[in-house]
Each structure stands twice: as structure tokens, then as C-alpha cells.
Amino acid sequence: MQLFYPNIQWNLFQKISFRFFFLFILLFIFPFPLDTLLFFIPKISEAWFSFLDSIIPFFGRSVLGIDHPIPMEENGSGDKTKNYISLFIFFIVSLAFTIVWSFFDRKRKSYDTLFHYFLIICRYYLAFVLIGYGLHKVFKLQMSEISLGQLLMPIGDQSPMGLAWKFIGYSDIYCRFSGWCEVIPGILLMFRRTTLLGGLISLTVMFNVMIMNYAYDIPVKIYSTFLVVITIVILSPYSTKLFNILLLSKKTCDAAEIKPLFAKGLKRTIAYALKAIIIIFLLGSSYSDAKEMNTTWGEAAPKPPLYGIYKTEVFIRNNDTIPLYSDSTAWKHLVFNKYRNISVYRFSDKRSAWNAITDTVQKTIEAKDINGPSVQFKINYTKINDSIFVFSGIVKKDTLKIITKHYSRENFNLYNIKFNWINEFPNNQ
């Protein structure tokens, strides 16, 4: 077996730094790689995160002095109080064990072999993450197209994160390009000879992602920062080479060349076979998951029959024609979204949403609570022509008849303006 830095003595700073980052990173990514290699035992992840959830409230109250309830439910945010507490726990545990490890192992010359295995775990973890996130962008699952309801929202009412999501999701080309910028370095990181190239691309991409998360208050700041850190760790063996090439324009040194763990023989054959299985599994599972989600709720998911925006032209309540804009409770827009729900926007800009069941035979729409089975109202619809639709029925004891005009996203300037090679003037509206 070849050592990582054969016959080179590590200094005290290198040894202590390695011990800390070895412990901290493995704690942060745990239960990887066990949950990936032993995917048939789902209890591993469940047990680990249940354990963390059991100690986080106690640690927050007793050690950090947090006197308010700590939300423990998952909601898509990676920057919750519980995430910062777990980060602090990992830091304290890693620091404590680094001190103990440094005391009992203070005479060791280096950690070449352990560092080599550690980098393999880091490379495959980052590859798995990059490929997963990248495919979610390639299939437009993470930053999906701007929804119909969002097209009606004033830009000043949007959140910074929402604005960032719409900026990327608007363009199919840019969104998918962003995805491939993550998938490609993920694949490169799986191979020893392309680790440097994959790491450099990954660092460029993930540093941009990290800054975007900070700039737009996207709640993945902890995780994106960690991905930058783990990328730097992966690139650390090349630090001397990069410094010589980029800053000193000097010839590179081969002293830190990463050697294969097994140079030849049966061990190397087994290692290659295991590597092939892992790569096929990572790529196959990531692609399969992304494709399934795409057909379930992504771009390939079926749209409801009345999909679109319906702008009120005439609003009649209890046989009285209500002058538009004179009644803030009157319906301004009906929006049938992609995910089988209906939203009503009133002239006061207040929005109400329900799950919608559309019967195209009976020409009826049944609106139910988003979080329950109770029916709120049932209305009929009539298609006069391709653009005029009439909705009528009883809603909260009021008899309504609403004449609407159908709009699609192509009716908006944002989607009506196409790409042009020649622009005689900048269309910066």
C-alpha cells in the first residue's frame, strides 16, 4: 500500500488540524457512508437523527441557556436553531476528542493512510451531494418555473429567497447549466486522477452558492458553508502545487502526488469493482429519484384541465354587477395551479387557496381545505371560447357569476420576449 506523503513528517499544526477536521467532518456527514453502503438498513439514519433530536433541546437549555421552545420539525430550512445547536455540539465534541487524541497519539509521525481513506469518504460524499443537487436543477425540481400565482405577485412583496429562486427558475438554459456545473465536478471527484479538476470546479461553484445563500437569506447557509470547507479539505493535498503554479509560476513538485491505495494485484481489482458498484449506485439512484420527482410534481407532471390564470371581466354577486375595483372582497383573479389547487386573488390583493377537484364531464369545480377534506364551495364553469370562461355557484351564501378572460404565462412580458442575437436597444424593464 502506498502512503499519502511517504517519509514526510507532519508538523504539530498539521496533525492537530487533521484530527479536528477528521472528527468534525465525519460527525457532520454521519451516517454517511453507512446509510449509502447499507441502504437496505434504513434504521441507521432514523436512529442517528432521533438521537440528535433527543439531546438538542437539553443541550440548548442547559448549556446555551436558550429559554424559548426549540422547533424540531423539518420544514426545508437548514438554518434553524436546532441546526446551530447541533453544529455547536459537533464542534465541542470534535474539539474535546482532538485534545484527547493529541495527548495519547502525540508521537505519531503522520496520518498518511488514514488521511487517504478520509479523503475518499469526503470525495464521495461531496460527489453524491453535487450530483443530487445538480440533477434537481437539471430537471428543474429545486428552482422550478415561476408559478402562475407568483407571476401576479408584485416584486416588492417577494422575499429575497423567492426572488433568487425565480431568477434561476425563469430560464431553462441557465437553470440546467447551473445543474450541470454541479453534476460534472461530482462525477470528476469520483476518480483519483480528476480529483483536482473536480475540486477546483466544485470550489468555484459552491463558493458562489454559499455567497448567494448569504446574500439572499436562503436558509442553507450552514450546509453550503460546510460544502465549501469540505471542498477545501479535498484540495488541501494540492495546496503546494496550486500555490507554485498560480502565485509563483514555478514548476510543480511531485512530493504530494496522490497514489492509489492498492498499486496492483487482487486488492486493486476488488477496489475497482467496489468503486464501479458505488459509482453506478450513486449515479443511478440520483437519476432515478430526480426523474421520479419530475414526473410526480416537476415539469413532466400533468397539468390540471383548467390550468391558467382567469382575470375577472364581470363580477356579479346576488344578481348585482359589482363595479370592478370598488369592492375589495370581489374576485380579481382565479388561478388554477399545477398542483391541483385553486387560488383566488381579491381586489384587496388578499389570497385564498384550496385544493381543487375538477370534473370535466359535469363542468364543476369542488374546492376543499388545503389541510382537510371539508368542501368549502362547489362552482360550475362554462367555456364560451378559448379565452372567455364563466364561473358560477354559491360561495359562502353568496350567489356568484364571474365572467373571466383566460391568460397563460405567454401573455406576460417576461415570457413573451424571446432570445435575440441582435438587440438594437436594451429592454431593461
CA distance 402 to 57: 52
Instruction: Summarize the confidence of residues 257-264 as an average pLDDT.
Output: 66
Q: Which residues pair with 364 in a beta bridge?
A: 359, 380
Q: Each residue of 301-338: pLDDT tens digit?
A: 888 999 999 999 999 999 999 998 888 889 999 999 88
User: Is the pLDDT at 161 greater than 90, yes or no?
Assistant: yes
DSSP codes, 192-203:
GGGHHHHHHHHH
Question: Among candidates 33, 91, 74, which has minimal Cα distance to 229?
Answer: 91
pLDDT in tens, 345-376: 999 889 999 999 999 999 999 999 887 778 88
- What's the CA gap between 405 and 334, in Å, rounded? 10
pLDDT of residue 294: 87
pLDDT higher than 50, residue 4: no
pLDDT confidence bin for 168, thresholds 50/70/90: very high
Q: Are 197 and 203 in contact (CB under 8 A)?
A: no
Does the structure show a pLDDT above 90 at 388?
yes
- The pLDDT score that the predictor gives to residue 5 is 52
Residues of the chain with pLDDT > 70: what percent? 94
Burial class (CB in 10 A: 0-12, 13-18, 19+), 255: exposed
Calculate the average pLDDT of the chain.
Answer: 90
Helix (H/G/I), strand (E/B), else coil: 145: coil
Per-residue pLDDT, averaged over 390-396, amounts to 94
Position 71 scores a pLDDT of 92
> Which residues, including other chains, have CB under 8 Å from residue 102's CB and lie 6 or more apart?
15, 16, 19
pLDDT of 87 > 70? The answer is yes
Delineate the domains of the chain, giving CATH numbers in brackets.
Answer: 12-297 (no CATH), 308-413 (2.40.128.20)
Measured between alpha carbons, how far is 120 from 112 in angstroms, rounded to an integer?
13
Going by pLDDT thresholds of 50, 70 and 90, the confidence category of residue 1 is very low
Tell me the average pLDDT across 9-21.
93
Q: CA angle 424-425-429, nearest 5°?
A: 145
What's the pLDDT score for residue 422?
95
Does the pLDDT of residue 144 top 80, yes or no?
Answer: yes
At residue 43, the pLDDT reads 80
Please state, in angstroms and rounded to a whole number, the distance separating the CA atoms of residues 400 and 393: 5
Report the alpha-carbon distance of residue 63 to residue 69 in Å, rounded: 15
Residue 125 · residue 36 · CB < 8 Å: no
Length of the chain: 429
Confidence at 258, pLDDT banded by 50, 70, 90:
low
Which of 202-216, 240-254, 363-377 is predicted least confidently? 240-254
pLDDT number for residue 244? 83
Around Cβ 138, how many Cβ atoms within 10 Å? 21
Which grid cell sits at 399?
A: 350567489
Residue 99's pLDDT is: 98
258 against 31, higher pLDDT: 31
